[in-house]
Amino acid sequence: MVTPADRPGRGSPARRRARAADAAGRYPRPTREELAAAAERTIPDVIAPGLGVLFVGINPGLWSAATGWHFARPGNRFWPALHRGGFTPRLLHPSEQNELPAYGLGISNMVARASARADELTPAELVEGAGILTGKVERHRPRWVAVVGVTAYRIGFARPKAAFGPQPERLAGARLWVLPNPSGLNAHFTPETLGAAFGELRVAVTAG
């Protein structure tokens, strides 16, 4: 999926910001007050027409809502798993999320509102979110939709027996895959096994 011609340039604004932050020794961290104020906020999708894979989180956490970056909380393993799985040639920081469409990738969420934990969401919200997601897929036409969290997928799409991996049904024409939740709270998966799960999807995407 990623070719040399597709890769963002070394001088891209996001890359320069990341290098500057590295040189300073850290990325900006939200304060406790900023995190508390971020509850219920929404953040924009990273999306474009005709993506190879649209990754779908459960909902933004407070770190993501405070920063505007998907999967931003320290300890969340989405970005390392994306790299380990072969989707990006290097490990991206969440602040570089807008480089993803150049790799044919995007990010959305099942539910738009931010919360401290995904288990604060109601089943009705997940069902409604699945319908909204279907509309996005109809408009943007990604080849694959990868839902990052099997429980959210089971509830939202009324598939109580769904397992990880490829799904038999399609979503508005897109092929479906379910990945493990990369949250650091998900102790059932290590960084290595998460990377392997993302790598299985990568193989399927590459195969067409």
Instruction: Note the pLDDT tens digit of each residue in 50-80.
Output: 999 999 999 999 999 999 999 999 989 999 9
Q: What mean pLDDT, rounded, does the chain reach? A: 89
For residue 189, CA distances in Å to 16, 28, 81, 182, 194 come to 33, 28, 11, 8, 6
Q: What is the pLDDT of residues 78-132, one digit of tens each?
A: 999 999 999 999 999 999 999 999 999 999 999 999 999 989 999 999 999 999 9
Structure token digits, residue 35: 């995190």
Reported as half-sphere exposure (CB side, CA atoms, 13 A), residue 205 has a value of: 27
Give the Cα separation of 198 and 43 in Å (integer). Answer: 24
Least confident of 15-24, 29-38, 52-61, 177-186: 15-24
Reported as half-sphere exposure (CB side, CA atoms, 13 A), residue 127 has a value of: 7
Give the Cα separation of 111 and 88 in Å (integer). Answer: 25
Burial class (CB in 10 A: 0-12, 13-18, 19+), 26: exposed
Please report, to the nearest 10 degrees, the dihedral formed by the alpha carbons of residues 174, 157, 163, 48 taken in order.
Answer: 30
Give the Cα separation of 179 and 55 in Å (integer). Answer: 9
Give the Cα separation of 86 and 198 in Å (integer). Answer: 8
pLDDT-derived band at 26, boundaries 50, 70, 90: low
Give the Cα separation of 158 and 46 in Å (integer). Answer: 26
Least confident of 1-10, 28-37, 158-167: 1-10
